[in-house]
Amino acid sequence: MTQQPLLEVQGLKKYFPLKRGLFIKSVVGAVKAVDDVSFALNSGETLGIVGESGCGKSTIAKCILRLIEPTAGKVLFEGKDICPLSMTEMRTYRKYMQMIFQNPYASLDPQMTVAKILEEPLLIQHFGDKQSRRQRIMEIIREVGLDDTHYDSYPHEFSGGQRQRIAIARALVTRPKVIIADEAVSALDVSIQAQILNLMQQLQQKYGLTYIFISHSLPVIRHISTTIGVLYLGKMMEYAPKKELFAHPEHPYTQGLLNAVPSLANRRKKGEIILAQDVPSASNPPSGCVFHTRCPYCKDICKEQIPELKEVGSHHWVACHLW
Amino acid sequence: MENNRTRRQSVMRMICARFIRDRQAMVGAVLVCILVLTALSASVIAPFDPIFGQNYDMVLQNPGTGSYMLGTDELGRDTFSRLVYGSRFTLAAAVIPVAFAMIIGIPIGVYAGYKGGFMDQWVIMRVVDAFQAFPSLILALALAAVLGGGFTNAMIAIGIGFLPNFIRITRSQVMSVRNLDYIQASKSVGCSDLSIAVFHILPNILPILLVQMTLSMASAVIAEAGLSYMGIGASPEQPSWGSMLRISQGYLSVQPWMAVWPGISISAIVLGFNLFGDGLRRAIDSKVRH
Amino acid sequence: MDKPVIEIKDLRVEFYSEGNTIPAIDGVGLSVYPGETLGLVGESGCGKSTVALAAMRILPRGISRIATGEILFDGKDLTKLSEQAMRDIRGNDISMIFQDPMTSLNPVYTIGRQLREGLFLHFDYTPQEVDEHILNMLKLVNIPRPDMIMKSYPHELSGGMQQRVMIAMALLCDPELLIADEPTTALDVTVQAQILSLMNSIQEKRRMGMILITHDLGVVAQMCQRVCVMYAGQIVETAPIDTILERPLHPYTKGLLGSMPDNTDEGPLKCIEGNVPLPGSISQGCRFADRCADYCDACRTQTIELAAVGTEHHVRCLKYEDKGVVI
């Protein structure tokens, strides 16, 4: 019996219209930030979404939480489509899905104390009384490795790593089921990054959390994910469990990406580049398979037809005309 | 484990600390304080009645004659007392129009900046553009003339003149803050737009608005002096510094000191507000750089 | 053995802020040989960028200065040169490229104009010779259609292109030393691979010395022959790249390598507890003592020098001080 996925995204699309004109602006095209992305997430899993700039990974996160309205597609939480809900109805679901942002220096309101920042989600969800809120906040502060004395401090008194801990605390305070981490460790130093990654894994164990972890850093994604989705210019190129992806990367882009990452273990021989050129602009994507301009195996069909995701192994999906 | 800071420092306290260390800013603050204190304690400080203390024997006297510290005017009234009572007009001129502009302008600016859309692009900003097409003093002049003269109408006119500026500045500040992560974070937690505007956006743009407030106060003082000087605004017997300047113009060859005192006072207080505002801006900037 | 292109000895740079003097870097010494890439590695706040700015004498004026130390280049001490003499050296003998190409290029001038500027300043070429030189350089850095690019503005180029232009600009006057401060941090990983490969091949051809400043040990592993690890304003370990990766000695270096999620092991990363100390907060003893797994009381009180512990391997740690020779 297959369990129902906790979170499912079906055919998600987000197009940003491009407008031209002097006074009355007419729509001349669209930036297809997210173009038909689908995936399903089971409880307790960590989905790693990896890609370079313009691939749409942050936009997906914002669409799931409806910080941006999707152009098309469904977002199913425990089977229920949350896209058509009004903002008031959406509020009940917000306690189950939370987000951690990239920039620890911009994601905390500089005018509020830690206590106020952590209390806000509880107030909105009408949680208990002042006493029980204070208790919950104190608990969470300790969980993320901070001191009781930090209760009354302001964000600017903390380092980047500590601020990210506060951001994690804010995401946890309503005991959510899903946490989306949008480049949550990208702005941190390596040693602090390690602390935060460890913390996130501990919390996942303890509270049975489900993560969507978005990053451009393959080593981080490799460390923390159970399943990985590789995105390029708004489209999912490959989707597989972690070990499978790293053992048998099938899509040429995934192969190029893996090869490009400078790693300590295998130092690439000089001169061996697989992917040339820059990532094309999202406002003018290539026709057919969006990767065909950089693909070493490009055929004629790749320039015309968009490849569908096909299953090539157990739970291993690839969108490529080579299959 | 964390930084060695033992005192809880809110952003406001940090700005105040920086401000106090800035000598120029403190000069401005002192000048403004003098104005406020003088205005509040006018009845105690002034030795003579500013309107009815007429003495036809001691008309147009030099400073230092008898107990008239700064001399007398054309009706024998003590210039010093008039100056002191005039500070009330100046203070009112600084506070009332600016308060008016802020109370009405800031909410409009927040709405325009946060919601954007049709109301913002086509209604609010175009109205603001229309207002700003006039030089502000001309606008205030025209409005005051339409409303009829008098001090209160002058205040309203000047206030309306400042409205577009506050709307514009609030709007641009809101626009620069609204896409920051902590606003997105509050949205993701379920905060309504109104709560976000009041509890997250406003407190963070307040420092910049305070700077604009102090600089507007300086302009308001000049505007009021100008209007009173032109006869639209305070009536001649009211000791507004602007009217004092106007009256003294007719007696420049006979008693130049009559013009000197209100002139210096206006300059000093405008300088004070400007230094205060600049110092505040510097204090806020260095907080950002921190 | 060649003479080093640049040799920094005992450099100390101080910053002034609100009445306090803060030592940003302290006792820093390094040398770079022709054709060699030296990696300067550390996390934010360790002072690695400050070393680069000091070498070019472009530290922020008024709030910082070189307190002590020597920077020996081409037989001269750069710390003692006049501003005029330094201007002759910058861009000409020593070049620098920065992290964010978007802000390093002036948005209101064409690429061609900005590239010509450097050449006109240092050499007496005719305009035709200048343009020819520039086109050759743009081809060298693999920019397609260089004649079109010359007429373009920075915002019309992608990040990778902009960084190539920056490299071209830095190389125009054929410098002996190139300082690259986080040159690929702002770029996508596939573009980063191209840029690093390009820098490698150019350096080999010209026998140029390079200081590569980065926080990414992976990049260092690809590019550098020798590495200096910095922590809280000091160099804590210097060694050839293989030694650093296989036999790191300083607890911080070990911690840094252990923190990297590069390995295939499951389970928690071996991270370093605590936070980097504020600059200037620790004046005595080892700056890493608070976070070190095996520190002793002497670590907090004794001044620890960089000691040699092997061929070209130096460590600043009490555990090894008696084993090695103090420099």
A107-157 pLDDT, tens digit each: 999 889 999 999 999 999 988 899 999 999 999 999 999 988 888 889 988
Distances A258 to A190, A253, C141 between C-alpha atoms, Å: 20, 9, 24
CA distance C323 to C240: 19
Which residues does A273 contact at the CB level (< 8 Å), separation at least 6?
Answer: A260, C193, C194, C197
Report strand pairing: A72-77 vs A80-81. Answer: antiparallel
Query: How would you classify residue C294: left for phi > 0, otherwise alpha for psi between -120 and 50, otherwise beta?
Result: beta
**Record: contact B3-C274, CB cut-off 8 A:** no
Query: pLDDT class for A72, splitting at 50, 70, 90?
Result: very high
pLDDT at A266: 63
B189: nearest CA in chain A?
A121
Helix, strand and coil content of chain B, in percent to the nearest 5, comes to: 75, 0, 25
Among the partner residues C190, C255, C273, nearest to A256 by beta-carbon distance: C190
DSSP A308: P
What single-letter amino acid sits at C127?
P
Residue pair C48/C58 in contact by the 8 Å Cβ criterion: no
Residue B172: burial class (beta carbons within 10 Å; 0-12, 13-18, 19+): middle
CA distance C154 to C109: 8
User: Domain boundaries in chain C?
Assistant: 1-93+177-261, 102-172
Among B1, B19, B21, the strongest candidate for a mutation testing the C interface, having the largest count of C CBs within 10 A, is B1
User: Is the model's pLDDT at A29 over the cut of 90?
Assistant: no
**Record: contact A190-C188, CB cut-off 8 A:** no
Chain A residues inside the 8 Å CB shell of B185: 99, 101, 107-108, 167, 170
CATH of domain B11-289: 1.10.3720.10
User: Is the model's pLDDT at A264 over the cut of 80?
Assistant: no
* Cα of B23 to nearest chain C Cα, Å: 14
Helix (H) or strand (E) holding B46: none
Count of other CB atoms within 10 angstroms of residue B1 = 12
Distances A122 to A67, A81, B194, C317 between C-alpha atoms, Å: 19, 24, 18, 48
Residue pair C181/C56 in contact by the 8 Å Cβ criterion: no
What tokens does A171 get? 């995401």
**Record: contact B2-C275, CB cut-off 8 A:** yes
**Record: contact A90-B190, CB cut-off 8 A:** yes
Beta strands of C2-130 (E only): which ranges? 6-17, 20-32, 37-41, 64-73, 76-77, 94-97
Say which residue, A276 or C34, is predicted with more confidence. C34
Query: Chain B within 8 Å of C126 (Cβ-Cβ)?
Result: no
Strand partners, C37: C210
Residue A58: burial class (beta carbons within 10 Å; 0-12, 13-18, 19+): buried
* Cα of A153 to nearest chain B Cα, Å: 6
* Cα of B2 to nearest chain C Cα, Å: 7
Query: pLDDT class for C311, splitting at 50, 70, 90?
Result: confident
Beta strands of chain A (E only): which ranges? 7-20, 26-41, 46-50, 72-77, 80-81, 97-100, 178-182, 210-215, 227-232, 235-241, 309-313, 316-319
Query: Chain B within 8 Å of C58 (Cβ-Cβ)?
Result: no
User: Is the model's pLDDT at A269 over the cut of 60?
Assistant: no
Query: How would you classify residue A128: left for phi > 0, otherwise alpha for psi between -120 and 50, otherwise beta?
Result: left
**Record: contact C278-B4, CB cut-off 8 A:** yes
A167: nearest CA in chain B?
B185
Query: Chain C within 8 Å of B3 (Cβ-Cβ)?
Result: yes
B179: nearest CA in chain A?
A106
Query: Chain A within 8 Å of B288 (Cβ-Cβ)?
Result: no
For the segment C263-284, the average pLDDT, to the nearest whole number, is 78
DSSP per-residue string spanning A155-200: GGGS-HHHHHHHHHHHHHTT--SEEEEESTTTTS-HHHHHHHHHHH
CA distance B234 to B42: 18
Residue pair A239/A223 in contact by the 8 Å Cβ criterion: no
pLDDT at B240: 85
Calculate the average pLDDT of chain A. 89
The closest alpha carbon to C289, from C309, C273, C271, C305, belongs to C273
What tokens does B232 get? 């639209």
pLDDT at A170: 95
pLDDT at B3: 42
Query: Chain A within 8 Å of C103 (Cβ-Cβ)?
Result: no
Chain A residues inside the 8 Å CB shell of C197: 270-271, 273
Chain C residues inside the 8 Å CB shell of B3: 278
Calculate the average pLDDT of chain C. 88
- Residues 251-290 on C with a CB inside 8 Å of B are 274-275, 278, 281
Query: Chain C within 8 Å of B290 (Cβ-Cβ)?
Result: no
pLDDT at B9: 65
Residue B179: burial class (beta carbons within 10 Å; 0-12, 13-18, 19+): exposed
pLDDT at C73: 93
Chain A residues inside the 8 Å CB shell of C225: none
B204: nearest CA in chain A?
A111
pLDDT at B290: 39
Chain B residues inside the 8 Å CB shell of C278: 3-4
Query: Chain C within 8 Å of B4 (Cβ-Cβ)?
Result: yes
* Cα of C278 to nearest chain A Cα, Å: 10
Count of other CB atoms within 10 angstroms of residue A229 = 25
Which residues does A316 contact at the CB level (< 8 Å), separation at least 6?
Answer: A238, A239, A240, A241, A244, A245, A248, A250
User: For chains A and C, what is the number of CB pairs under 8 angstroms?
Assistant: 119
User: Is the model's pLDDT at A314 over the cut of 80?
Assistant: yes
- Residues 190-219 on B with a CB inside 8 Å of A are 190-192, 200, 203-204
Domains of chain A as residue ranges with CATH? 7-262+272-319 (3.40.50.300)
Distances C229 to A264, B197, C47, C280, C303 between C-alpha atoms, Å: 16, 47, 11, 19, 18
* Cα of B8 to nearest chain A Cα, Å: 6
**Record: contact A268-C222, CB cut-off 8 A:** yes
DSSP per-residue string spanning B61-94: PPTTBTTBTT-B-TTS-BHHHHHHHHHHHHHHHH
C127-179 pLDDT, tens digit each: 888 999 999 999 988 898 899 999 999 988 888 899 999 999 999 888 999 99
The segments of chain B whose pLDDT lies below 50 read 1-7, 289-290
Q: What is the dihedral of CA B93, B95, B98, B99, to 10 degrees?
A: -140
Count of other CB atoms within 10 angstroms of residue A116 = 15
User: Domain boundaries in chain B?
Assistant: 11-289
pLDDT at A272: 57
What tokens does A248 get? 């048998």
pLDDT at B73: 82
User: For chains A and B, what is the number of CB pairs under 8 angstroms?
Assistant: 79
Residue A123: burial class (beta carbons within 10 Å; 0-12, 13-18, 19+): middle
CATH class of domain segment(s) C1-93+177-261: alpha beta
